[in-house]
Structure 1
Amino acid sequence: MFQVVTKLLSRSSFASLSRGISLSFRQYCKKTPIKLQVSDALSGAKVGENVRVQGWVRSVRPQKTNVFLHVNDGSSLQSLQVVAGPKLNDPLLTFGCAVDVIGTLKKSLHQKQPVELEAAQITVVGECNPVDFPFKIKERHSVEYIRQIPHLRCRTNAFSSLLRIRSEATTAIHSYFKNNGFVQIHTPVITSNDCEGAGELFQVEPSGTENVDDGNFFSVPAFLTVSGQLHLEVMSGAFSRVYTFGPTFRAENSQSRRHLAEFFMVEAEISFIQSLEDLTKVMEDMFRSATEHVLAHCVEDVDLFHKHVTPGHRDTVDAMLSKSFPVITYSEAIDILNRSTEKFTFPTDWGCDLMTEHEKYLVKHCDNIPVFVTDYPYDLKPFYARDNQDHPKHTAAAVDLLVPGVGELCGGSLREERLNLLRARLEEAGLGDTYSWYLDLRRFGSVPHGGFGLGFERYLQCILGVDNIKDVIPFPRFSHSCLL
């Protein structure tokens, strides 16, 4: 059909028609704005184009000839300056309101901003009364203040930066495992196992009993998981490297700055390893890889924390990345604590668990960089930790990574793969029947293996210098508090 039409047209008329179609298409493209995120607009790639930006107003500055707005959509710490004529000034155009702006993206004459948006149209999508809005323009609110308003704190610079960093750190950790041959496993949130054996469990039951014959939905007691480790150990019988990254729960009645009832854990299990050194290498490499990625991809957001929230902490982070992490045994750690002049609240006898005050002192003693503590007393560790079988001090092949400002960040161990020793430990603890399936893992193709868990929120505390763990998670859950 197209060939028939072209034959009926002269060459000149066909050329005129082609130019007309091309011109109409260009006009259509020019009229239709390109939708951009603020971060893309700030890159300057679309200068001269008709664009559309949607976001929330961070500041409004009306003048006689123009109105200046700063609009942010969460994609960047920086906001995009919008310049509008006085006719576009609207009483509803206030700090905190949501807007839809169409205009031409132009290079800015000011050094502090690469581009600005010359508005042709501004629509207020969502109104905001700045008098009632709990955050005030040009005011830097403390993390303690914004913590009290969890449903709105993402509107602040500090917390929006934290959420971008958190997102990028998540990506970095997944990338590390993918690049190193790990398979991601989605371990269950509801489980019948108490991995840690501490009894700090949230039991799961339906709110109604109409569909439950015996009053127990799962026929056995079920709980929110405290760790995905045991499920990873199942998978490590078929995959040499596995990991999981998800929520975990502890019913610990604590209001401390280091504990939450719901938090995220990064856990890994590695088969065919022979020593704790094989495990600590992965722990250290993951920490370095993730931190370097965050520092490289969240420059402005990290700088905000290191300059305004936790001044001077960048030096600590740089020191952590510049040196290898030292390794000391638990026995050496006890000797260091006992030789110190520090007055500790908790005892430092051999066999006592290391408390936060001890952990922070050990980090300080090791030049304020992360330190591995290995070979803990056997009785302090769960049933799955491998027996070192050394005497007279009976220890387990377990390791903790202690970091500045936080204390324990990671905990791990070689797992007891010897069936007779594991069976004896379970029977001694009265868990032989409960964990018969766990013994099967040792009966059928067991191999030496080990793993660790890293508290994701504590990791963010460590690299940002944030003192309270409630300030690095979107919706903190802790005893007597479950807002939203």
Structure 2
Amino acid sequence: MAAPMTKLWKTWVATINPLLRICRQKGYSYRCYSFAKQSIARMLETSPIQDNVKVKGWVRAIRGHRDVIFLHVSDGSCVKPLQVVADPSLCGSDVTYGCCVLVEGCLIESSHPGQTVEVAAHRLQVLGSCDPVEFPFKARKKHSADYIRMYPHLRPRTNTFSSLLRIRSQATSAFHKYFQENGFCQVHTPILTSSDCEGAGEVFHVEPANSHLTQAVQEDSESNHFFKCPTYLNVSGQLHLEAIIGGLTRVYTFGPTFRAENSRGRHHLCEFYMIEAELAFTDSLEDIMQVMEEMVRTTTQTVMASAQEEVQYYLQNTGAEKHRETVEAMTTKQFKRITYTEAISILKSKKNFQFKVEWGADLQKEHERWLTQHLGDVPVFVTDFPAQLKPFYTKLNTDNKTVAAVDLLVPGVGELIGGSLREDSYDALHSRLEAAGEHDMYDWYLDLRKYGSAPHGGFGLGFERYLQYLLGTGNIRDVIPFPRSPGSCKL
């Protein structure tokens, strides 16, 4: 196999080199795009000596020492900046903290501790100036998360938040990697939908801003809606995934979801990302929990390995260094399993516990966090909830009081994942929808039980809550680029 490939390579080189020579002779120009090769991350990994390099990035620190200027330049490719050593004659008054620069010079071995290479500059150009007085983020000053959050359009320029974005990217890839390696097919579920999956009514109604568009639709229909029916931003892709598993066995989706919850709590957003999966041919809640546990454990191990330096930097700069021990428990210890009834019994047995709860009531954040702490600061599965607490599609248990539903609780955050077996009986589902007066809205969903229905179940994970747990972040608005919450939709 190697010989044909070698021959192909030689043929390609023999063809392309003469063409390049002709281009040069005739004065034509050609471009070689090598952004990745010129990134600071690559430069820090490469051998120390290169005669001519170009560095493009932002000045994160600047200081003078005798007859030389030291700049720390970052291009966002890694947590470490690249030190640039420049003669003062190259640095005009516009070379300030926060400005964007182009540096040309030699990549040389550094004699300074904490870095292997640096750039000896022979040319420095300011691509974008920055007034350090007006710039909200000051050099050598640590800003609080609350302060940084006030400038969502500028906070990617802080080292801490740019680190968070790289970790978020690594976590996204890790989840996709898990699903792809375990036989799941990714599906893009719709953002616009006519179904309220959760049944709680916390939906955003969608209609065109231009009423003339709706009027044009009305000419051909008696409906006064653009889509001829009430339409919402999706609160979950689950129902659509259930339609897909009529032909595929394992599917998942990873995308934005929307909840019109009037909550400004530290764990709630109006727009967030959900990872949802459905598995056909399972009638055991334990099967669902095994996938949930394996997914969280494997993904966390992948992120901690691939973004180790980023995670360490983020934890140090947010004062959450001790949180690493909590995260390691997710990758090394078995998750606990208790029923809802057992959870209520544990909570009621706690003397002087200020958050009282009775059987049949939903668990609050305080209950969830206390349960994980009480059971050893490890993730805890709570199963078999009262039927009235879960949506209409959840499968009823044999006791006719509880349903085969599960929540995964994690320390510091509370509920991270919610899942269940889905009701696959047409008659049972039909009677529930009839009782709720929603039969017409879900006639297509009933069809799934009519034609070759299979036992199945699934779950949904809040991606931002996962990042909160992974990084020990107190406020969910600090792990998403542009947070949306009641009264706040900047940009």
Calculate the TM-score normalised by the size of structure 2: 0.90
- Structure 1 residue 268: deviation in Å? 0.3
1:162 correspondence with 2:164: yes
Tell me which amino acid in the other structure corresponds to 1:399: V
The answer (yes or no) to whether the contact 2:238–2:276 under 8 Å persists in 1 is yes
Is 1:343 aligned with 2:380? no
Once the two structures are TM-superposed, the CA of residue 350 in structure 1 deviates from its matched residue by 1.0
Unaligned runs of 5+ in 1: 1-20, 26-31
Give the fraction of aligned pairs with identical amino acids, expressed as a percent: 54
Give the whole-Å Cα distance in 2 for the aligned partners of 1:33 and 1:180. Answer: 35
Bigger radius of gyration among the two: 1
Q: How does 1:369-380 map to 2 (within 5 A)?
A: 369-380=378-389
Alpha-carbon offset, residue 46 of structure 1: 6.2
Render the CA deviation track for 1:25-64: whole Å, top value 9, x for unaligned.
9xxxxxx997511111111246324111100000111233
Query: What residue identity is the alignment partner of 1:406?
Result: V
CA–CA distance in structure 2, aligned partners of residues 373 and 293 of structure 1: 26
CA distance in 2, matches of 1:293, 1:73: 24
CA distance in 1, matches of 2:294, 2:265: 29
The residue that corresponds to 2:334 in the other structure is 324
* 2-structure distance, mates of 1:483, 1:48: 44
Q: What amino acid is aligned across from residue 341 of structure 1 in structure 2?
A: K
1:210-221 to structure 2, matched below 5 A, reads 210-213=212-215, 214=218, 215-221=224-230
1:81 is the counterpart of 2:79: no
Aligned residue for 1:61, secondary structure, equals strand
Which of 461, 477, 490 is residue 483 of structure 1 equivalent to? 490
Out of 433, 443, 447, the position equivalent to 1:426 is: 433
SS in 2 for 1:376: strand
Q: 1:63 to 1:46 in 2, by over 3 A?
A: closer
SS in 2 for 1:151: coil
CA distance in 2, matches of 1:297, 1:291: 10
8 Å CA contact 1:65–1:85 kept in 2: the answer is yes
Measure the CA separation in 2 of the matches of 1:84 and 1:210.
61
Work out whether residues 34 and 52 of structure 1, in 8 Å CA contact, stay in contact via their aligned partners in 2.
no
Tell me by how many angstroms 1:92 deviates: 0.6
Cα shift readout 1:277-330 (whole Å, capped 9, x = no counterpart): 100111111111111111111112211232231231111111222111011011
1:453 aligns with 2:460: yes
Distance, in Å, in 1 between the alignment partners of 2:99 and 2:288 is: 50
> TM-score when scaled to structure 1?
0.91
Instruction: Measure, in 1, the Cα distance between the counterparts of 2:240 and 2:352.
Output: 41
Distance 1:474 1:162, change over 3 A: same
Q: Kindly provide the amino acid, as one letter, of the partner of residue 398 in structure 1.
A: A
Find 2:392's aligned residue among 367, 383, 407.
Answer: 383
2:480 corresponds to 1:473: yes
Count of paired positions: 454
- Structure 2: runs of 5 or more not aligned: 1-20, 26-31, 219-223
Q: Does structure 2 retain, via aligned residues, the 8 Å contact 1:33–1:50?
A: no
Q: Which residue of 1 aligns with 2:404?
A: 397
Decide whether the 8 Å contact of 2:48 with 2:116 is kept in 1: no
In structure 2, the residue matched to 1:175 is 177
Counterpart of 1:88, as a letter, is L
**Structure 1 letter corresponding to 2:410:** V
Take 1:110 and 1:34, find their aligned partners in 2: how far apart are those partners?
28
Contact 1:247 1:262 in 2 (8 A): yes
Letter in 1 for 2:126: V
Opposite residue 105 of structure 1, the aligned amino acid is L
C-alpha distance 58-366 of structure 1, shift in aligned 2 (>3 A)? same
1:420 deviates by 1.1
